[in-house]
Amino acid sequence: MMSFALLREIAAHDQVWPRMAAKYGVENPVPPWKTSLDGLCDALDRAACNNSVPTFQERRDEEDALAATVYADLPHPESQLVALAHSLLSRGVITEDELVRRLAVIRARLEG
Amino acid sequence: MHDHDHDHDRTVKPMVEEITDFEVLEIALRELCIEKGIFTAEEHRRFTEFAEQIGPAPAARLVARAWLDPDFAALALAEPLTASKEVGVDWLEPTGFGTPSDFTAFQILADTPTVHHVIVCALCSCYPRPILGNSPEWYRTPNYRRRLVRYPRQVLSEFGLYLPDDVEVRVQDSNQKNRFMVMPVRPEGTDGWTEDQLTEIVTRDCLIGVALPRVGVTSDVIVDTRPAMHPSGE
């Protein structure tokens, strides 16, 4: 199984929703990005006949395998998100370099 | 400077005041996919709006109406897509645009005093999302999916549902083309109730089949998600 240092670092940083919600006294049961992730998965499933995008079945099988092993310490839906990133990286749909660059750009934008 | 004078401490709910790696990752994946032409921003927005507005309310109302109206109950079993439309769910166009991955054949499984149904997707996590909303986390776990088909009574007991031996348990496996929901038996003690009152006790768990509707119970069972056992680790 492939391994991605970037995703391991994100997992290790542990900004998981149960911890964040408790820290700031927030009551929402799921993180605010969850429905956007659902939209992302649905949009990918519909696009799956194109190039190397995983099909629904492949995406879910890989999520199950990764959530039980590499990302076993993450709760859901963080494990779902990181497993999806892992699937897209391992299939070459996106590259680790472009993801690293994009994460920095977005963080700068949100913090600006 | 504020042009109003109310107290924000009293009116604004707390929020997470740091930007998490996970929210940045979600945005990054989405933006890169859009830039690569895998889907459009408009498609993503529509699917996200769909995910935000779905929930178990239409299915609960369907069951409550069926309990009150024998003709509607017959319609629900014979023509579930038509009955779904009457509670606001169009299975052919659930998102209101195009056909999403949830397009399926849909069937309603009616319990009787001697037959109890429960749904699962042994292969992945297929679920009747347009009418029940997003699946609970435990429904997605390999643990539930693998064990329910082998040991249904044991798994149901973990949700607090103990069925007598003379009640047959039927486990219905879903797949990408076929989705199901359970129509439980109307419980005792609900004579004279309105559709709204009945709707309240038809919880998501009842519609999956891991609980039975009961007077006074309007919320789902909280269960700890058990760790998935993956074959590679066995």
Q: Which own/partner pairs from B191-196 qualify as long-range (CB within 8 Å, at least 24 positions apart)?
A: B195/B61, B195/B64, B195/B65, B195/B68, B196/B64
**What percentage of chain A reaches a pLDDT higher than 90?**
82
Contact across the interface for A99 and B32, Cβ inside 8 Å = yes
Contact A38/B at CB under 8 A: yes
**pLDDT category of residue B231 using cuts at 50, 70 and 90:** very low
Residue-wise pLDDT for B64-119, tens only, equals: 999 999 999 999 999 999 999 999 998 888 877 765 555 668 999 999 999 999 99
The whole-model pTM stands at 0.84
ipTM of the complex: 0.97
- For residues B56 and B230, which has the higher predicted lDDT (pLDDT)? B56
Judged by CB atoms closer than 8 Å, whether chains meet at B51 and A60 is answered as no
Beta bridge partners, B119, equal B172
Phi and psi for A21 in degrees, rounded to 5?
A: -65, -40
Q: Parse chain A into domains and list their residue ranges.
A: 31-111
**Secondary structure of chain A: what % helix, strand, coil (to 5)?**
65, 0, 35
Interface contact A29, partner B, CB < 8 A: no
**pLDDT for B96:** 75
On chain B, the residues whose CB falls within 8 A of the CB of A103 are 21, 24-25, 28
CB-based contact, B21 to chain A, within 8 Å: yes
User: Which residue, among B88, B69, B77, has the nearest Cα to B194 in the 3D structure?
Assistant: B69
Q: Is B228 on the interface with A (CB under 8 A)?
A: yes
CB A42 within 8 A of CB A53: no
Q: In this predicted model, what pLDDT tens digit does every residue of B52-68 receive, in sequence order?
A: 989 999 999 999 999 99
pLDDT in the model for residue B15: 83
Contacts of B233 in chain A (CB under 8 A): 68-69
Inter-chain CB proximity A35 and B51 less than 8 Å: yes
The residues in B 117-136 lying below 8 A from A, measured between CB atoms, are 123-125, 134
